[in-house]
């Protein structure tokens, strides 16, 4: 591979105090200018592989390593201090952990200052990347005041100011709304196509990135299981790793079709060739036929009885100190016994509203009611065991030596038993449902990003609260783990629980939500059933809905689409 940028040769790596390799005898390389997607279930070694590709393991993380990692034939260990950063840039999952300076311009210049780039050259590079990433208007803005998408753009711009040859990205869109995520991915593709940058991208939401990739590498258990083109990956996943299938491909696989489309466009071409076109306007009377049966079958799910209200916001306003209003007179009622999904762009007030519903903050004006009680009369401690709250940062929940101890401590806080047959069965059931039972004796800080996310969720679920507030619970989860979480939440609802979750994962909301709320600029922009909310939008629509748009109304879930494909569009 004379033109290879990065190459691993028989690389094996163990994290400290572990007896199972995170990377197991890997030999792998990437050509100059390639766009490669690393895929695989959570904990399979994807993020560790990125760290090996830029020298972070074992240099920063410690542990034992064998084999070599080279950049253009030079061993990474032979580069001088800071030398690797001139050639290999890395963007982490959480931009806030990568931003160190208080202002945008200073953040972009920070890496250049560390590399002792001359001032004139530094000014030129900073101006150039700010223009490319459309950050010039934010030059003097505080990094803490930026939206999630803006922070991610600054993080990428800061790396690109160093003019690397290779860009490594670890789930860069996991915390972003669909529109912002697409903007970031478009920028990354431009870097690859217009600048010839080699890109290696780790992503769980494969539906977002497969169409961008030249090659897909699948990892499992620290080894490479597949390495080839995206279409070959679709066939591999259909045969061996169903949990890695994107919704587009999974729709056709589970419907028994031989086709393996990768994009909505390709899938729509197949669907529109199979189904009769939908009339532009409904006919006054249509009692029979395929279109009528579809409307009757899907439309019935829009009719829901109003449940009792368990959370209510009445004309709520709130501003953080020395800031503008985040909540601007919001009115919202959360029905008991439902799974309500809250969607909206980054920075629109969703997480702030969650903090009100858990009594962590009090409204500046208006009223918040929690199970009929005014939040101003409640402390967070009063809600222990009643509300289980999962914030965006899993590290806030993990500080014991083992995951099992974390779960025991969480139960101890609200007086639930921590030992004995019943406690062990309940904790074990939660960990098993989240795919974490084998990790119960590991230190949570040694888990992968997706595993830590599930570990934090487990510490909330073992308390068996009456109401769950989950802020981005699917971040870092592969589709199989999302399905397990969805099934657990469904069983929790059947036992009388209520779930309110914030998510940018429209596919998860479409599959499992009973009610969908769209938040915009601190108010409720719209709310309704998934069929009402997720079939008319451009970005807030699942892939299966986009595939059948104009063919069948109110198709939202994967099962909706599978049933239609199996039906085949034939008239009665």
Domain ranges of the chain: 6-241, 305-550
At residue 81, the pLDDT reads 72
Residue 259, classed as helix, strand or coil, is coil
Rounded CA gap, 76 and 70, in Å? 5
Question: How far is CA 264 from each of CA 242, 520, 553, rounded to the nearest angstrom?
Answer: 19, 27, 17
Query: In the chain, what is the straight-line distance between the N-terminal and C-terminal CA atoms, in Å?
Result: 59
**Cα separation of 489 and 512, whole Å?**
8
Q: Which helix (H) or strand (E) holds 519?
A: strand 515-520
Contacts 24+ apart (CB under 8 A), 236-245: 242/480, 243/41, 243/478, 243/479, 243/480, 243/481, 243/483, 244/39, 244/40, 244/41, 244/206, 244/218, 244/478, 244/479, 245/479
| CA torsion angle 116 118 119 123 (round to 10) | -100
In the three-class reduction of DSSP (H, G, I as helix; E, B as strand; rest coil), residue 510 is classed as helix
Pair of tokens at residue 217: 């590498």
| Both structure tokens of 61 | 């993380």
Pairing of strands 4-14, 23-31: antiparallel
Those residues of the chain that have pLDDT short of 70 are 1-3, 277-304, 569-572
Q: What residues does 276 pair with on adjacent strands?
A: none
Q: What is the pLDDT of residue 302?
A: 53
> CA-to-CA distance for 504 and 149, rounded, in angstroms?
12
Residue environment code for 113-124, b if the CB has 16+ CB neighbours within 10 A, otherwise e: eeeebeeeebee
User: What is the pLDDT, as a whole number, of residue 147?
Assistant: 79
The pLDDT value given to residue 453? 84
Where are any strands of DSSP class E within 353-434?
A: 365-370, 373-374, 387-390
Both tokens of residue 45? 């070694």
Can you name the CATH fold of 305-550?
Answer: Rossmann fold (3.40.50)
Burial of 81 (0-12, 13-18, 19+ CB in 10 A): exposed
Residue 161 backbone dihedrals phi, psi, to 5 degrees:
-65, -25
With tokens 């308390």, the residue in question is: 463
Cα–Cα distance measured from residue 5 to residue 307, given in angstroms and rounded to the nearest whole number: 58
Instruction: Tell me how far apart the alpha carbons of residues 166 and 307 are, in angstroms, rounded to a whole number.
Output: 53
Quote the CATH superfamily of domain 6-241: P-loop containing nucleotide triphosphate hydrolases (3.40.50.300)
User: How far apart are the C-alpha atoms of 256 and 563, rounded to whole Å?
Assistant: 11
- Pairing of the two strands 373-374 and 387-390: unpaired
Give the per-residue pLDDT at 276: 72
Phi then psi dihedrals of residue 222, to 5 deg: 80, 5
Contacts of 247 by beta carbon, 8 Å cutoff, 6+ apart? 207, 507, 542, 543, 544, 558
Q: Give the integer Cα–Cα distance in Å for 17 and 28.
A: 26
Please give the angle made by the CA atoms of 81, 127 and 71, to the nearest 5 degrees: 30
């Amino acid at each position: 591979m004379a033109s290879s940028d990065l190459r691993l040769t028989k690389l094996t790596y163990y994290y400290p105090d572990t007896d199972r390799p995170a990377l197991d005898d890997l030999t792998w390389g990437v050509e100059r200018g390639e766009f490669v997607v690393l895929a695989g279930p959570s904990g399979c070694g994807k993020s560790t592989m990125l760290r090996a590709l830029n020298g972070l393991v074992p240099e920063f993380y410690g542990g034992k390593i064998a084999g070599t990692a080279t950049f253009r034939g030079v061993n990474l260990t032979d580069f001088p201090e800071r030398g690797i950063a001139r050639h290999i840039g890395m963007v982490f999952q959480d931009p806030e952990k990568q931003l160190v300076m208080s202002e945008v311009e200073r953040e972009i210049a920070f890496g250049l200052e560390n590399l002792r780039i001359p001032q004139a050259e530094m000014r030129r590079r900073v101006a150039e990347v700010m223009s490319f990433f459309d950050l010039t208007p934010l030059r003097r803005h505080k990094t803490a005041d930026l939206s999630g998408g803006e922070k991610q753009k600054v993080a990428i711009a800061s790396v690109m100011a160093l003019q690397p040859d290779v860009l490594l990205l670890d789930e860069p869109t996991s915390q972003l709304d669909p529109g912002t995520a697409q903007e970031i991915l478009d920028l990354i593709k431009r870097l690859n196509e217009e600048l010839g940058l080699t890109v290696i991208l780790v992503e769980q939401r494969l539906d977002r990135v497969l169409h961008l990739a030249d090659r897909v590498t699948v990892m499992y258990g620290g080894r490479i299981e597949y390495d080839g083109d995206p279409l070959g990956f679709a066939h591999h996943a259909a045969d061996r790793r169903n949990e890695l299938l994107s919704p587009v491909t999974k729709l056709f696989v589970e419907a028994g079709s031989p086709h393996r489309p990768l994009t909505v466009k390709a899938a729509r071409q197949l669907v529109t060739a199979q189904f009769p076109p939908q009339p532009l306007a409904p006919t006054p009377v249509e009692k029979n036929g395929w279109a009528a049966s579809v409307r009757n079958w899907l439309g019935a799910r829009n009719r829901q009885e109003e449940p009792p209200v368990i959370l209510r916001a009445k004309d709520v306003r709130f501003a953080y100190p020395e800031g503008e209003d985040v909540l601007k007179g919001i009115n919202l009622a959360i029905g008991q016994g439902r799974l309500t999904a809250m969607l909206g762009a980054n920075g629109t007030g969703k997480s702030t509203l969650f903090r009100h519903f858990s009594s962590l903050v009090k409204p500046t004006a208006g009223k918040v009611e929690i199970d009929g009680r005014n939040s101003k009369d409640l402390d967070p401690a009063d809600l222990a065991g009643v509300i289980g709250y999962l914030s965006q940062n899993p590290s806030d929940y993990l500080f014991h030596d083992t995951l099992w101890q974390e779960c025991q401590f969480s139960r101890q806080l609200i007086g639930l038993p921590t030992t004995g047959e019943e406690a062990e069965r309940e904790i074990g059931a939660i960990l098993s449902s989240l795919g974490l039972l084998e990790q119960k004796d590991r230190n949570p800080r040694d888990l992968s990003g997706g595993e830590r996310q599930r570990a934090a969720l487990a510490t909330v679920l073992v308390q068996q609260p009456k109401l769950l507030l989950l802020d981005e619970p699917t971040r870092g989860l592969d589709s199989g783990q999302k399905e397990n979480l969805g099934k657990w939440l469904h069983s929790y609802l059947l036992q009388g629980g209520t779930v309110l979750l914030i998510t940018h994962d429209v596919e998860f909301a479409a599959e499992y939500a009973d009610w969908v709320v769209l938040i915009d600029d601190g108010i409720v922009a719209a709310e309704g059933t998934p069929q009402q909310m997720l079939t008319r939008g451009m970005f807030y629509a699942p892939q299966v809905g986009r595939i059948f748009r104009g063919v069948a109304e109110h198709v939202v879930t994967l099962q909706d689409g599978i049933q239609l494909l199996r039906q085949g569009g034939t008239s009665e």
